[in-house]
Amino acid sequence: MKWTRSLLTELNLLSSETPTLYCDNQSAITISENDKFHNRTKHIDIRHHFIREAIKNKEVELKWIESKSQEADILTKPLSRPQFVDLRSKLMNQ
């Protein structure tokens, strides 16, 4: 997302609003947005701290979404036929 924003900035096509990243894991959102969990999350990979920093700098916003509505799942995991059809229709704006 940060790379895409950088590219759009160079092309003078960037929207002024903060991009939203939808996540179906409320614990991940809480850890990313709140520094009070730092002692418990020292072992977390550096990429997660990178995300935490991006959220602090208002470069990205995290929002919770129900797992059944997570459109990215169609690209990342096997789904039941009804869920696949539902997500496909959302992606195709039908």
pLDDT average, residue stretch 83-89: 90
Which pLDDT value is given to residue 80? Answer: 92
Which pLDDT value is given to residue 29? Answer: 81
**Cα-only R_g, the chain:** 16
Structural domain boundaries in the chain: 2-66
pLDDT tens-place string over residues 24-69: 888 878 877 776 655 565 666 666 677 778 888 888 888 888 888 8
Mean pLDDT of the residues in the chain: 81
Which pLDDT value is given to residue 45? Answer: 62
> What sign does the dihedral 55-43-66-72 (CA atoms) show?
positive
Category of 12 on φ-ψ map: left (φ > 0), alpha (ψ -120 to 50) or beta: left
Residue 74 corresponds to which amino acid?
Answer: I
Which pLDDT value is given to residue 81? Answer: 94
Which pLDDT value is given to residue 36? Answer: 66
pTM of the model: 0.62
Helix (H) or strand (E) holding 6: helix 2-10
